[in-house]
Amino acid sequence: MKKIILIVIMTLGFNIAYSQSIELSVISTSGDYFQGTNATLSWTLGEPVIETYSNGNAILTQGFQQSNYIINSINNLTADAFQINIYPNPSTDFINIDFSQKPTCLYIEMFDLLGKQILKKELVNLNEYIDLTNLAASEYFLKITTKEGKIIKTCKIIKVE
């Protein structure tokens, strides 16, 4: 009889221990999941503040969805050989791009906030002029790259009315 009770207790204990698992689930005020051909988007609403702490070897993050933590940033990798000045910013009509020496095989690309490329041209002069009159008042990203695609400078351009 003691053996039967012991077997029943062990079986129940094993089932209880086995049934506990950590699932990726969220209880929030709103959220959704979308999947396309090239990307997926998963979002939740209801957590006003998140924070990330790191200490050399360990990273602790708060937040609902932290499985793939990717940080996008704008890097200024201006080569030491020359300086690039972009002005005026913010602007209403145009921006100037000045180089300290004549650029060789540099290209300029301008993107809107959705990532759509709205301008691409080769830079050939010490001073370049970009017309913004046909663009809506918004923020744009300006990227200067080499022929091989190395990013020399990236900056945010603000077009005001």
- Residue 2 has what pLDDT? 81
- Residue 84 has what pLDDT? 83
- Residue 65 has what pLDDT? 57
Residue 89 near residue 157, CB atoms below 8 Å = yes
- Residue 80 has what pLDDT? 52
Task: Name 100's Cβ contacts closer than 8 Å, sequence gap at least 6.
Answer: 82, 83, 84
Domain boundaries, the chain: 2-61, 84-159
Identity of the amino acid at 71: I
- Residue 117 has what pLDDT? 92
**Higher pLDDT residue, 53 or 73?**
53
**Higher pLDDT residue, 22 or 105?**
105
Q: How confident is the model at residue 83 (pLDDT cuts 50, 70, 90)?
A: confident
Q: How confident is the model at residue 114 (pLDDT cuts 50, 70, 90)?
A: confident
- Residue 27 has what pLDDT? 62
Give the phi and the psi of residue 109 in degrees, each rounded to 5.
Answer: -130, 140
Which CATH architecture best describes the domain 84-159?
Sandwich (2.60)
Instruction: Report, as an integer, the average pLDDT of 26-32.
Output: 69
Residue 34 near residue 41, CB atoms below 8 Å = yes
Tens digit of pLDDT for each residue in 95-107? Answer: 998 887 776 788 8
Check whether 118 has a pLDDT greater than 90: yes
